[in-house]
Amino acid sequence: MMTDAPAPAPSVDGIAAPQQQPAPAAGPVTPAPVVPKKDDPAAHARKTLQMILLVILGIPYLAYLAWSVYLLTILPDPTGVNDPLIPAATFGAMVGGVAFVAIAAFAVMRITKATAIPVFRRRVATIRIIVGIIPGIAVSIAVPMLITKEPPLTLAITSPTKAVDFVAPLTATFDASDAVAILKRKNLIPEKFLWDFEGDGKVDDQTLDPQISASYDRIGTYSMILMVQLKGGGTRTLTRRFTVSSAVFAVEPNPPVVDEMTRLSVSQLLDKPEDLDQAYWDFDGNGEVDLVTKNPDVVHTFYADGSTKVTVAVKLANKSQHTYERVINVIKSVPLPFDATVKTDPVNLIGASPLGVVFRAETKEPLRVILWNFGDGTDARGDRVGHTYTKEGIFSATAELRAENGKVAKISKVVRVVPELALPDLTFTGTPEVSGDRITGEVPVVIDLKPRTTMPLIDFFWEAPEATTVGSTKGSVQAVYRREGTYTLTLIAQDPDNHVLRTPITVLVKPPSSTVAIRMDPEGGVAPLTVRFDASESFIPNEEISGFEWIFGDEMDTGAQQRGAQVTHVYRRPGTYDVEVKVYTTSGKQFTAAKTIVVRAPVIDSCISASRTEGKAPLGVRLSSDCSTVGTDTLYEWDFGDGWKSPLKNPTHDFQKSGTYSVMLTLKDGENTSTSDPLTITVLP
């Protein structure tokens, strides 16, 4: 009896189970013909189907892997340009991961159920499925984790920008603005920046601004470390390594400013100051030596802006010689983030030890603190500080003004402490007479003095900071003191070896024997200007004042007027006027005083307002120019935008037709003209 042969087992992952042969029948058997596998239609169809499925599934799979690799190359993006891709990419990776797990689970389940297939082949099929799916699952897990990470934070060096410019002494500017922008996109707000200039673990400075400048005097490799403290807690650390490969002489301030002293020094190039034999300086790059000194520090003033080559040949005590060259960019003024100045007393910062200096910083910017570095190893803080230099040398005193908005302005002054100059035969010629170290006189004290000495090659210059008027201060001095009080006039003498003598002269200004005082309230302003003049404080010793005569000096003045000590006058036109008052006494004497008052032309500014700007036709609108700034003879010209005009100050106009009209006002006062911004009137049908 013959039994039907069992149907062939289904294939798994392309592996077909072997067909079972029927049991041999009794009797003679005729061998069945063997059909080669390549001619088996069923096997060929299965292979074709497998190839089609491989293509259908493989192309999207490879595209998914390629897309994932692309995402990993562009994200995280420091610029934030590609950040909009993150949500879609994260969702796609999650969907892809779930799909790969589902496909793998389904395939493994089918393989498990195919019991007719040998175990070995099922294991091979399972391994092939897992190996094929694992990259997709790994990418689906990695992409969301990596593309949502915080981009790398960088610390940039904005100055100098070229490696060849990293030459000591170096002032490098660091900027973490890009890192701040990245943090803000992650809703992380920096609160404070802590700077470690040399990577030694010590905080050298802290700012509210992501920018700072640091100085490096010697050759070496440095690490600038920035710790960013975030609001609400948390920190980020940025590091920037750089190398200073060579060194030249120092320049302070750098860049130098026209007509201000600049300190140049080779001290950081020497192991010890006594190693220096002589230094030969060429300040203008013409190849000629301008100054020879045994001091490592020198002072020079540049009188023109632009680039100039400075060269110094340093001859050492061991007879070796080195030449250093540097191109210096001299500027007209120091660029500051806000207006600020530093004033000193004395004005000329040169003198013998001990030299006391008072520094004062002035600015309208709201400040958190002012830090001072006097250049001799001492510091201070405050808007007005005093310091005494007890050692000889050239020092760069720096004020660091830190504003409340985080901006920092640095201003430097060069202080020279030099040996004292002896001038035992110093005398003065001119007027008034100098008695010892004192000048005495009544208001006004007019000084015209010239120093004399038998010692040759002495340069003289003067300081008269409190004088009302100062003329010459080089060699001789011309100054006028118009207010009573005690003042200090200082003579500074300097020889070719930079030895200096400071000679203070006390100026005692006494009140005048006879005083005719004129007070003006206000002392100037815009026409028309009403001024109150007061001569009641006039004083004539041993005399009784009987009357006052005023001359106001303008076209409204009708000549000398006998009036009281207090008068009022109106200046209707701009100009500069000389006011004179004569004081008469009962004895018939007269005393005169004069003052000048400046009356400025008015600055007109056109401005308009309206009772309403919208309504139905016909629309009546009351217009006003009361918000304008006008002068005495100001003319008004209204243009209502519908062809009508008016010369009135505050006209009323009816707009008859619907539409949109631009109303403008033009003011004219002499040569001054001002036109307002247009005011739109909308008239509805």
pLDDT at position 2 is 40
How far apart CA 491 and CA 452 sit, in angstroms, is 12
CA 196 to chain centre: 21
Cis peptide before 647 (omega within 30 of 0): no
Cis peptide before 169 (omega within 30 of 0): yes
Residues 430 and 449: beta-carbon distance below 8 Å: yes
To which CATH superfamily is domain 156-246 assigned?
Immunoglobulins (2.60.40.10)
- Amino acid in the structure at residue 633: D
How far apart CA 540 and CA 2 sit, in angstroms, is 158
Q: Please state the domain extents for the chain.
A: 41-147, 156-246, 248-330, 341-418, 427-510, 519-600, 609-684
| 541 CB-near residues (< 8 Å, 6+ apart) | 513, 514
How far apart CA 572 and CA 602 sit, in angstroms, is 11
Cis peptide before 432 (omega within 30 of 0): yes
CA 640 to chain centre: 47
How far apart CA 87 and CA 105 sit, in angstroms, is 27
Q: Which burial class, exposed, middle or buried, applies to 327 when counting CB atoms under 10 A from its CB (0-12, 13-18, 19+)?
A: exposed
Return the H-helix or E-strand segment holding 87.
Answer: helix 85-113
| 653 CB-near residues (< 8 Å, 6+ apart) | 620, 621, 623, 638, 640, 644, 646
Q: How many CB atoms lie within 10 A of CB 126?
A: 17
How far apart CA 547 and CA 557 sit, in angstroms, is 19
Residues 572 and 632: beta-carbon distance below 8 Å: yes
| 172 CB-near residues (< 8 Å, 6+ apart) | 157, 159, 160, 166, 213, 214, 215, 216, 224, 242
How far apart CA 98 and CA 103 sit, in angstroms, is 9
204-214 as b/e: b if 16+ CB within 10 A: eeebbbbbbeb
- 205-211-212 Cα angle (round to 5): 45
Tokens of 559: 């000549």
DSSP string, 145-157: HHHTSPPPP--EE
Distances (CA, A) of 515 to 67, 280, 306, 550, 673: 94, 60, 53, 16, 45
Q: Which burial class, exposed, middle or buried, applies to 272 when counting CB atoms under 10 A from its CB (0-12, 13-18, 19+)?
A: exposed
| CATH class of the domain at 609-684 | mainly beta
How far apart CA 609 and CA 616 sit, in angstroms, is 19
Q: Is the dihedral of CA 72, 78, 83, 86 positive or negative?
A: positive
* Polymer length of the chain: 685
| 272 CB-near residues (< 8 Å, 6+ apart) | none
Q: DSSP label at 254?
A: S
Q: How many CB atoms lie within 10 A of CB 368?
A: 12
| 264 CB-near residues (< 8 Å, 6+ apart) | 249, 250, 251, 281, 297, 298, 299, 300, 310, 312
3-state secondary structure of 73: helix
- 74-76-81 Cα angle (round to 5): 70
- Amino acid in the structure at residue 340: A
Cis peptide before 496 (omega within 30 of 0): no
Q: DSSP label at 588?
A: S
Question: Was domain 427-510 assigned CATH 3.40.1260.10?
Answer: no
pLDDT at position 126 is 84
Q: How many CB atoms lie within 10 A of CB 374?
A: 20
3-state secondary structure of 100: helix
How far apart CA 302 and CA 313 sit, in angstroms, is 20
How far apart CA 134 and CA 136 sit, in angstroms, is 5
To which CATH superfamily is domain 519-600 assigned?
Immunoglobulins (2.60.40.10)
Residues 271 and 318: beta-carbon distance below 8 Å: no
Q: Which CATH architecture has domain 341-418?
A: Sandwich (2.60)
Q: Do the domains at 248-330 and 427-510 have one common CATH topology?
A: yes
Cis peptide before 256 (omega within 30 of 0): no
Tokens of 70: 């692309």
Please tell me the number of Cα atoms within 13 Å of 188 on its side-chain side: 17
- Taking the chain (685 residues) in runs of 10, the rounded mean pLDDT of each run is 44 44 47 50 71 78 87 85 87 87 84 80 83 87 87 90 84 91 90 92 89 87 94 92 90 86 89 90 91 89 90 92 91 88 91 93 93 92 94 91 89 91 92 91 90 92 91 90 92 90 93 82 87 88 86 77 85 88 89 90 85 91 88 86 92 92 89 86 90
According to CATH, what is the number of the domain 248-330? Answer: 2.60.40.10
Predicted model pTM: 0.48
Is beta strand 524-526 parallel, antiparallel or unpaired with respect to 590-600?
A: parallel
